[in-house]
Each structure stands twice: as C-alpha cells, then as structure tokens.
Structure 1
Amino acid sequence: MRRALLLGAAGLALAGAGGALGWSLHTAKLDARLYAQNRLIAVQVHLDAAPAEYVFLAGDSQAELQSPSERPCGREIVNGGVSGATAAVYADLLRSLRFPVRPRAAVLTIGTNDLLRKNDPLSADASARFEKAAGAIVATLKAAADEVVVTALPPVGRELDRWLEPAAVGRYSARLKALCERLGCRFADPFEALRDGDTGFAKPGAMRDGLHLSAYRPVMRALEPALCPTLPPSRPAAGP
C-alpha cells in the first residue's frame, strides 16, 4: 500500500529504460482513489485554514503540480489537485471536500487522464461521459466559489501517442468551452504557447515526461489575464 501511494503521488510517468509507461497510467482510476485517501486530508486541512479571497486550484496533476508559493492575482492558493484523477473520479472526490471559507475563485484543469486510447476517448459515449463529469465538477465549484475558470486540456508529448489520443485534446477542450458558455464559467487556454498547432501534441521541450509540463509557473502567468479581471484588488491583511 505504501508503494502504491508513493507511485500515485508521483503521478503518471514514464517508467523503465525502454520508456514504457508505468502501471499507474493503465490503472489511473484506482491510483487516483488510493492516492486521494491521503491527499484529500491535506487539502481539507488547508481549506479549513484558508484566508479570505483565496484561489482554489482543482483538477488532476496539472493542477496539483502548481507551486503553493504561487499568488495568482496577488492571492494565496489552496491546491486541491489530485494526480491521476479523471473527470469522473474528481467529480466524486470534490464532493467530499468542505469549504468553510468561500474561495474568491476556483480554477479547474481536468481531462488529461481521460485521453487513454484504450477507453476510446473520441467515441460519442466517452465524450458525453467526460462532459457530464466536467459539468458536475463545475456545478460543485460554482456553489463553492464566487468565480470559476476552466482551462483547456494541455497538449501531450508525441512519445505518448501509443497510449493517449491527441485528437481528443482539442475536442475535449471545445466541450469544456461550450460547457462554460452554458453554465456560466470562464474558459481559458493557458497552454496555447505549448501547443504544436492543433495536433494535440506539445512543442519540443514543453513536456517533462510527455504528460507533465516542463514548467508550471508560466502557465499560471498565462492564466492571469482570464482570472484577474474577475477579481477585485486584493486587500492587505489587517494589522495587529
């Protein structure tokens, strides 16, 4: 169990000298739920102690790997990302969290773990399930936060073409954009500079292991134009 949790915490990664994918990519749902048992304890502790007008980061490892030292729009963050989570898994996990202090904004990045070719992500059924789960996440976040921003899916590395469906990156992102138009959230694409056109693949050097970004701070900076206009200027903390 300890080894499973550690592997889950590391997220989905390339394993072995031959570059074969680790077992966590093939059992993402199981890994996410095992990892979430401990991860959600930490998230809830941070939510219980959150300051006013913070930003909540939701989603999979693309959210979790954002540094806790980031201060988008001058605000603290509480990072609620769970590595390995699909949209359906995260929809369930999010419902277990409590928000004693209301976030000023929530940012959702989800979908990478829904791209497995073996699950036929381009099929009508898989696409509809993804959209339904994403809609459930957005509804939960809208009930908890003043503003909700949903990002496009990040691109994937070409070395993962055997396992992931790059064409679904654009299609699922389009579904998220339409979802926001329908539900009243904001849509943003902070990964635009990393994309190799509309292929679904990343530019050379943009990814660390084909799945995770080489750098996350530039993504947060790219997100701020969509996020910050929705937030009033942050107030300095009260003195003693």
Structure 2
Amino acid sequence: MRTRVKIGAGLVAAVVAAGGAALVLSHRAGGNGQGVAAFREARAFAVSGLLQQVDGPYALLLGDSQIERLYLPTLCGGPVVNAAIAGTRISGLRAVAGWIALPRPPETIVVTIGTNDLTQRQRSHPAQAAAHFRDEARALFAELAPRARHVVATAIPPFDAARSGVTRFYDAAAAPTYSAILAEECARAGCRFVDPYGDLRAPAAASRSPDGVHLGLDRAARDGVAARLEAAACPERAERPR
C-alpha cells in the first residue's frame, strides 16, 4: 500500500510539473485563465530582457517542461536562452513566442511541445483534438520560420506508459501521431524535424524517468540530445572533426 501511495504521488507530481503552474494560476485568477496569460506574458518579458544581454549568434528554446528541464548552455557554438514554460500547450506557446521581443533573429529556434496536449482532458474528443493540434502547429511554424535562420521541431519525448498511472492522465498511445503532425507541419513551413530523444525511448532509458512523463536526464543523456539537435540545426558543424 505504501508503495502504491508513493507511485501515485509521483504521478500527481508529474502532472503538476507538466501543468501545475498553469493550473494554480488559473485558480488564483478565478479559473478564467487570466493568471496563466499574465504569467506567460511576464515570462516572455523576462526572456526578452535576457536576449538583450546576449552578444552574437544565439539559440532560443521554446516549449514545455520537457525542454525547460534540459540544461543546454550552448548549441552550435553559441549561447542558448531557454524560454520554455512548464505546463505549456501548443496554443499557449504561440502566445509566448509572439510576446518575446527578439533583438535580432536567432540562429536556431528549437521547439519541443505536445506533452500537455496529450492529457486525457485535452484528448476527450480525439479527432477534434488532433485537428486542433494540427491547426495550431501549422500556425506556430508559419509564425516562427521567418523569425530565425533555422527552426528545429522535435518529436514528443517518450512516456513510460508501463508506469502505474501514466495512461490514466495521458494518452501516451497518441504521441507518435502527434509527433507525425509536428513533422508534417514543420516540413510545410520549411523547418527541420528531429527526434533528439531517440536514445531515451528504450525501456531501460524510459525506466529512468523520474515520473513516467519527464525525461530521465543526466549528463550523458543531455549530451546525446544536444548532439542530435546540433545535427539538425548546424549539420556542417556537427560533421566537423573534433
């Protein structure tokens, strides 16, 4: 019984980490979403200030807690500014991206999104949800493509669907379909699509996830993700002998 309680508590923590900030702010604002929007706008304002302090080429990370948790100080030889926000869905990401003031175009924008769009609540009407996700993805990449030299979209990171409770909260089986949508709409806008989390999809790697939802990251895993991102964002550099 004690083990079950711990597992259940871990899953709740995962859901809170993925979407908790938005949920709490929504309740504080009376459930009308104004608090969520205010938080995102404030975060975009802070990121805009950080960008003013960066000299030379840089990369910008956008998305949800999956990429927010990724420690990536450099990409393709330049500094990285992480503008990801836990709990973000694809529609919210469009708003955040629109609020960020870019002092000059980044060399690369990396987008990891989709985990929070796969909650069972968001997927209560699967066909409608998938169509909405596609519409938002198409609009997002069309808006981002002119703002950077390269836009790199990633596959949705793996779930550990065998973990107790994961499929209660997430439609993990729909993740490949949503990743395919991201790949198709990314290509439509001239973006580059990559699965930098491929090495983390093996059962042994998935079991290292802290909660069955977020990536089990250590330095080696981070380096593998970074290498795949660089192969997509700056292949000429990735192929250069070191």
The answer, yes or no, to whether TM exceeds 0.5 is yes
* Distance in 1, Cα, partners of 2:106 & 2:145: 10
Q: Name 2:83's counterpart in structure 1.
A: 80
**Is it true that 1:57 corresponds to 2:48 in the alignment?**
no
Q: Name 1:210's counterpart in structure 2.
A: 212
In the TM superposition, what is the alpha-carbon distance from 1:142 to its structure 2 partner? Answer: 1.2
* Distance in 1, Cα, partners of 2:95 & 2:68: 17
* Distance in 1, Cα, partners of 2:153 & 2:22: 22
What SS does the aligned partner of 2:109 have? strand
- Residues 1-240 of structure 1 mapped to structure 2, 5 A cutoff: 17=6, 18-19=8-9, 20-22=11-13, 24=16, 29-30=22-23, 31=25, 33=37, 35-67=39-71, 70-120=73-123, 123-158=126-161, 159=163, 160-196=166-202, 203-205=206-208, 207-215=209-217, 217=222, 218-229=224-235
What SS does the aligned partner of 2:136 have? helix
- Offset from partner CA, 1:92-149 (integer Å, 9 cap, x none): 1211111112101111110011011122267221011111212222122212111111
Q: Name 1:237's counterpart in structure 2.
A: none
What SS does the aligned partner of 2:140 have? helix
Specify which structure has the higher proportion of helix.
2
Asked if structure 2 preserves the Cα contact closer than 8 Å seen for 1:52 and 1:102, the reply is no
Which residue type is aligned with residue 61 of structure 2?
A: L
* Distance in 2, Cα, partners of 1:77 & 1:127: 31
Report how many aligned residue pairs link the two structures.
213
Asked if structure 1 preserves the Cα contact closer than 8 Å seen for 2:134 and 2:181, the reply is yes
Moved over 3 A (4+): 22-35, 230-233
In the TM superposition, what is the alpha-carbon distance from 1:162 to its structure 2 partner? Answer: 1.1
Which residue type is aligned with residue 215 of structure 2?
A: L
Residues 231 and 82 (structure 1 numbering): CA distance in 2 closer, same or farther, change over 3 Å?
Answer: farther
Which residue type is aligned with residue 195 of structure 1?
A: R
Asked if structure 1 preserves the Cα contact closer than 8 Å seen for 2:108 and 2:151, the reply is yes
Residues 228 and 125 (structure 1 numbering): CA distance in 2 closer, same or farther, change over 3 Å?
Answer: same
Q: How large is the Cα RMSD of the aligned pairs?
A: 2.7
**Percentage identity across aligned positions?**
34
Asked if structure 2 preserves the Cα contact closer than 8 Å seen for 1:55 and 1:78, the reply is yes
* Distance in 2, Cα, partners of 1:144 & 1:131: 20
Residues 128 and 41 (structure 1 numbering): CA distance in 2 closer, same or farther, change over 3 Å?
Answer: same
Scaled by the length of structure 1, what TM-score is found? Answer: 0.78
Residues 83 and 33 (structure 1 numbering): CA distance in 2 closer, same or farther, change over 3 Å?
Answer: farther
Structure 1, unaligned stretches of length 5 or more? 1-15, 234-240
Which residue type is aligned with residue 53 of structure 2?
A: A
In the TM superposition, what is the alpha-carbon distance from 1:28 to its structure 2 partner? Answer: 6.8
